[in-house]
Structure 1
């Protein structure tokens, strides 16, 4: 199994913008067959060092991770996120 974790800091860090971006990320649920689980969380502390959104996804294999990355639904999300994010960081690891 592979865990895929991404942290997003948005250009507009208002509660409304964060909620909208989180909803867009959640819209992938049930649409990408490679995803075994998807969890989206928004930061509750809202400090300067905080990131606004965390995405945690689980897939079975590296091939599934690549399939998820290339999936048309994921590509739509990337296009949206690239327009609203300031920065993002990711880590992928085996469990």
Structure 2
């Protein structure tokens, strides 16, 4: 199984912006066949170096991850994320 984590820092850090971003990310649930599981969590310990959100997605294989990345639903969500994004980091690993 492949787990892909995306850490996100938003330009606007108010609670409403963070919550909306979480909702947009979760809107992919059940819409992309290769996406086994999706979870987003909001950071509860803000600091200058902390990220605002984490997106955790799970896939059967790297090929399934690639299908997800090219899926129209993901591409639409990615457009929104790019518009609100300040910085990001990712870690992808196999379990």
Shorter-chain TM range is over 0.9
Normalising to structure 2: TM-score of the pair? 0.97
What stretches of structure 1 move > 4 A for 4+ residues in a row?
none
Q: For residues 3-22 of structure 1, what are the structure 2 equivalents within 5 Å? A: 3-22=3-22
Q: CA offsets, 1:45-66, max 9 Å, x none?
A: 1222110010001000111000
TM-score, L = length of structure 1: 0.97
Pairwise CA RMSD? 0.6
Aligned length: 95
Q: Which runs of 5+ in 2 are unaligned?
A: none
Describe the SS at the equivalent of 1:28: coil
Aligned residue in 2 for 1:90: 90
Q: In the alignment, is residue 43 of structure 1 matched against residue 43 of structure 2?
A: yes
Q: Which runs of 5+ in 1 are unaligned?
A: none
Distance in 2 separating the partners of 1:33 and 1:90: 22
Q: Distance in 1 between matches of 2:36 and 2:24?
A: 18
